[in-house]
Structure 1
Amino acid sequence: MLLNYLNKAVEADRTDPEVLVYYNNALARDKGNYFTLAVVVPADNNTNFAQEILRGVAQAQQEFNNKDGLNGRLLSIIIANDGNGKEPEKAKQVAAELVKTNSLLGVIGHNYSEATKAALTEYENVGISVISPTSSNTLLHKSNVFFRTVPSDAAMGEKLAKYAINNLNLTRVVIFKSTSFFSESMTQEFQNNFEELGGKIVRQVDLTERTLNAQKEVKLSLANQAQAAILIPDRQYTDVALDIAKANNNIINSSKNRKKPGLKLLGANTLYSDETLSKAGKAVEGLIAVVPWFRDAAQAKQYSQKAKKLWKSDVTWRTASSYDATQALLQDLSTDSNRTTILTSLENAKFSVNQTSGYPFKFSSEGERETEPILVQIKGGKFVAVP
């Protein structure tokens, strides 16, 4: 009876990953002797992020169960909520509760680096693997149970800095950042690489300042001979970063400045969204962002089309990365899997393109995904790959 109700719920809303997870959980429990994984999402104030992550997990679970799992054993997923994702104590409590489930073999999450860092102690205490699809802070690799399917801030900062110097010939830039774990980390990585290559950071501007005047900050940056603005907001302050882009566009188009170029725009992956296009329009035309995954890249097309068919809409990099994290754990399952075998197997595993969202990968000895970040640019009001 429950399976029938859940099946109807899935058909009623094909965009809801949570219902699909519950349906597959019911299938697994109905059959018995199933595998158990968990996913931790920020479901309180970040429902979009939570759904994006759950879509990747749900898709991998669906494919696994549709193939009758492994030797007839299906997969059940525990969905846990760590609040808004930025409360370390809440994340730690959630992790402590999760690991009490003896059958739990691995964890996908958390979303924010702050939450992942706080929860790691609980996972380390019991030796359970945790794969984050979204936590990119470089400090996290110091844990022996931590893996990630997203490039680190170090990899993304290096990619953006090298392109700025080698391809755009930029030598003087201003960084607009917020005060989050992600933004501070990404800023530091970009700055280290940019300065090592001979560039100079002429200013750093805090996007969280309540009295911030976007037009004034752009003018001051130009007065300091900055050639480009590096926009590194966390998700909470993307609108403020877009205000900087709009102010820059206004200055470029003003009658007094038509002979002077404004700031070139480069940014972090937090600006890679449809909201950037809809909210800022022509002000972000030409912006270059470094991203973990790009759905229109040739390598990603097969997966992105398959995912779009399932969810009835285009998927984001968080969905792709979460799919990869789930697949990594699934590919390491065996008939006698336990937490120790999974952890050991992940350290030596390699995953081909037919097991991922488009790119083959393996984990380094520090749990880093060995992959190159991707550069995209806004052209004609849409994101395109930078050659």
Structure 2
Amino acid sequence: MKMRFSVKTVAVVPAVLAVALALGSPAFAADVTIGFAAPLTGASAHYGVDVKRGAEMAIEDANARKLVIGGQPVHFALDAEDDQGDPRTGTQVAQKLVDAHVAGVVGHFNSGTSIPASRIYNNAGIPMVSPTATNPMLTAQGFANVFRVVNSDAQMGQLAGRSAVETLKGKVIAVIDDRTAFGQGMADEFVKGVEKAGGKVVDREFTADKAVDFKAQLTRMKSFNPDVVFWGGLDQQAGMLAKQMRQLGIKATLLGGGSFENDTFLQVAGADADGAVSWDYGVPLSMMKTGAQFDAKMKSKYGQGVVAYAPAAYDATWVLIRAMEKANSTDPKVYAPFIKSVSFEGISGDIAFTSTGDLSDPTATFYKVTGGKWVPQAIARGDKVEALKD
């Protein structure tokens, strides 16, 4: 930590120190920098900017509370980096944050960037809390300093697989994914969920995360006459996939898991979005205890409300800050062991961790596009699914 004062204050430092000592309080605030990484440019920038804003709001609220840690008032700052959603860039960003001696990291957004970056942070002894990375491998690596405040694909994919068989009554189920750590990981778990529920996947297709034309894969898929098509990937591609399915006369229900429950999918898919269904992480903003206030504050500050995961980013930032408070230290090596005992009611829900760094009690919501809007249908807590009343 470094003490903050300008050249103009040097002359009065002795006097200020004397007053501070007399009052029994520190004279200056210690700067504590928290790192942040997400795609701030490119196709997923709308997500990256959203989570960055959530982290910024947490920093702002923490500073407003004038916290004292280790006997010193602290001033938090955010070092936000653009990893472009690219694993190679993600590791470069991770090393940059390590070299900058950040006290902890909120990020990354994508599983594909989070997994390689987590090794760099872990080796440096810097805690990392991802608001959005869902691939099971992130916490399966066994790193003591890696956490997430979002469900794992193991839960989400299997919920989606189960719903394909039990809710959608899928008899002929097909899968297409983008081959990213998120998309492929989610699709793998979806297949497990289908099989566990007694169903069968008859066709599995692959694409790339920057592809815009899926007609070759969909044409092969059409020969099976599927009634459910699962997409493992993000929102813009999901929208294009929905349009191309209808253009080819595929009438199957498009199903996702934590990937396209937002306005971007609706805008890209247009009328072809109607009838699509998906599981998403956590509960709807409208069901979050302080969701409406948080959204209003975002609109006031940024001119735009919550896109998707800003509440989770806010909570992830506070995980680090609360651990520092518990440890009475901002030193990563001192406060990191306290993260596993952090427990609080966040914006996104209850925050507490298992021994692996996963959420203790993750929730998920099943949505359906009706009349051009995502409408919540059911809430899952663990393996228990409860239908929502109209």
Using the size of structure 2 for normalisation, the TM-score is: 0.79
Instruction: Name structure 1 gaps, 5 residues minimum.
Output: 1-29, 253-260
Matched to 1:95, the amino acid is A
Q: Which residue of 1 aligns with 2:259?
A: 270
Alignment of 1:1-387 (within 5 A): 32-45=29-42, 46-70=44-68, 73-88=73-88, 90-102=89-101, 104-141=102-139, 142=141, 143-208=143-208, 214=215, 218=218, 220-234=220-234, 238-239=236-237, 241-250=238-247, 262-293=251-282, 294-299=284-289, 300-334=291-325, 335-352=328-345, 356-370=346-360, 371-386=362-377, 387=388
Q: How far did residue 101 of structure 1 move?
A: 4.1
CA distance in 2, matches of 1:111, 1:213: 25
Bigger mean CA offset, 75-84 vs 126-135: 75-84
Contact 2:131 2:316 in 1 (8 A): yes
Contact 2:165 2:171 in 1 (8 A): yes
Q: Distance in 2 between matches of 1:200 and 1:85?
A: 32
Residues 54-87 of structure 1: per-residue CA shift (max 9 Å, x gap): 1001111111111223367233334242542313
Q: Secondary structure at the match of 2:259?
A: helix
Q: From the superposition, tell whether residues 67 and 197 of structure 1 become closer, same or farther in structure 2 (CA, over 3 Å).
A: same
Residue by residue over 1:329-369, the C-alpha shift from the partner in whole angstroms, topping out at 9 and shown as x without a partner, is 112223333213322111122112xxx22411211111112
Q: By how many angstroms is 1:131 displaced?
A: 0.5
Pair 94,379 (structure 1): closer, same or farther in 2 beyond 3 Å: same
Q: Which amino acid aligns with 2:330?
A: S
Is contact 2:111–2:135 with CA below 8 Å preserved after alignment?
yes
Quick one: structure 1 residues 33 and 155, their matched pair in 2 at CA, closer, same or farther if it must change by over 3 Å? same
How far apart, in 2, do the equivalents of 1:217 and 1:308 lie?
A: 40
**TM norm structure 1:** 0.80
Tell me how far apart the structure 2 counterparts of residues 82 and 361 of structure 1 sit (CA, whole Å): 26
The amino acid that maps onto 1:337 is T
Cα pair 1:350 1:361 within 8 Å, conserved? yes
DSSP-derived class of the 1:114 partner: helix
Cα offsets for 1:184-205 (capped at 9, x unmatched): 1111011111112111111112
Residue by residue over 1:142-200, the C-alpha shift from the partner in whole angstroms, topping out at 9 and shown as x without a partner, is: 22211011211112102211222222222321112112111111110111111121111
Q: Counterpart amino acid of 1:292? A: Y
Distance 1:31 1:170, change over 3 A: farther
1:364–1:44: structure 2 CA closer, same or farther, 3 Å change rule? same
Superposition CA RMSD, Å = 2.6
Kept after mapping to 2: 8 A contact 1:301/1:358: no
Q: Is the 8 A contact 2:38 2:107 kept in 1?
A: yes
Counterpart secondary structure, 1:383: strand
Point out where structure 2 has 5 or more consecutive residues left out of the alignment: 1-26, 378-387
* Larger strand proportion of the pair: 2
CA–CA separation in structure 2 for the residues paired with 1:274 and 1:149: 23
Question: Secondary structure in 1 aligned to 2:285?
Answer: coil
- 8 A Cα contact 1:43 1:82, kept in partner: yes
The separation in 1 between residues aligned to 2:83 and 2:351, in whole angstroms, is 31
What is the percentage of aligned positions where both structures have the same residue? Answer: 22
In structure 2, the residue corresponding to 1:175 is in which secondary structure?
A: strand
CA distance in 1: counterparts of 2:29 and 2:122, whole angstroms: 29
160-169 or 304-313, which deviates more:
304-313
**Residue type of the partner of 1:123?**
Y
Q: Tell me the matched-pair count.
A: 341
User: CA separation in 2, counterparts of 1:124 and 1:378?
Assistant: 41
Provide Cα deviations, 1:13-64, integer angstroms capped at 9, x if missing partner.
Answer: xxxxxxxxxxxxxxxxx95313331112333435433311210011111111
Letter in 2 for 1:135: A
| Helix, strand or coil at the partner of 1:134 | coil
Contact 1:54 1:322 in 2 (8 A): yes
Given that 1:218 and 1:248 are in contact with CA atoms closer than 8 Å, whether structure 2 keeps it comes out as yes
SS at match of 2:103: strand
Structure 1 distance, partners of 2:148, 2:62, is 21
- Cα 1:314–1:165 change in 2 (3 A) is same
Q: Distance in 1 between matches of 2:212 and 2:342?
A: 50
Structure 1 distance, partners of 2:221, 2:68, is 58
Q: CA deviation at 1:302?
A: 4.2
Q: In structure 2, how many angstroms separate the alpha carbons of the residues matched to 1:145 and 1:196?
A: 33
Q: Return the alpha-carbon distance in structure 2 between the equivalents of residues 203 and 197 of structure 1.
A: 17
Does the CA-based 8 Å contact 1:304-1:357 persist in structure 2?
A: no
* d(CA) in 1 for partners of 2:324, 2:300: 27
